[in-house]
Amino acid sequence: MVCPRLVKHREEVAENPPARFRGEKYWAKPLPGFGDVDARILVVGLAPAAHGGNRTGRMFTGDSSGNTLMKALYRAGYANIDTSVSADDGLVLKDVYLTAVVRCPPPANKPTQQEISNCLPYLAEELKILRNICVAVALGRVAFEGLFKLFKREKAFEGKTPVFRHGGTYRVSGFLYGRPLPIIIACYHPSRQNTNTGRLRQEMIDAVFLRAREFVG
């Protein structure tokens, strides 16, 4: 077992859900990405939410983070509906693919550096398949630094990782799997902690995806 702490946590929360989800069968397995395999925009999050993706079996689905993200994607023209409730809710993404640097929910939403390293090969395989990606939106510092960790591991990027700041746009030189590195746009994670405190407002994340759309046309 590569990440025993994460396996234990994802299974424990599935066995002991809050009252509002009692009786539901949880996915409780590593979570794959979701979206358009021909996408030009990659959205990278931290990890599945314990009672969101870990429950529903789909990335950014079943919690407030997913709904905040989907409102932004819908308004920018990349989603057919503005909510993400369940794996069978009819959501279709166009030109966008959702993934994360860690595929199991970490306790307190804090994966270790080793757990991130263990999961990066899955993100690497997705980037090999997603041949049209030219913009990557990193939701939160962990996702942002995880992307650059992957670029460095694959010897696609050298130098110091840029400083994360919301709205920061980074054009980095280098090639990954024979293709130019994508433009990176940093965004605060749409977690309840950020949205409830006003650190991230809906118009702020909307602006990030409108900016991404400017790059891809």
Q: Where are the domains of the chain?
A: 4-216
In the chain, what percentage of residues exceed pLDDT 90? 98
Share of the chain above pLDDT 70, in %: 100
Q: Is the pTM of this model over 0.85?
A: yes
- Write down the mean pLDDT value for the chain: 97
Question: What pLDDT shows up at residue 44?
Answer: 98
Hey, what CATH topology would domain 4-216 get? Uracil-DNA Glycosylase, subunit E (3.40.470)
Distance (Å, whole) CA 168 – CA 57: 31
The answer, yes or no, to whether residue 164 has pLDDT greater than 90, is: yes
Which residues, at least 6 apart from 193, have a Cβ–Cβ distance to it below 8 Å?
A: 199
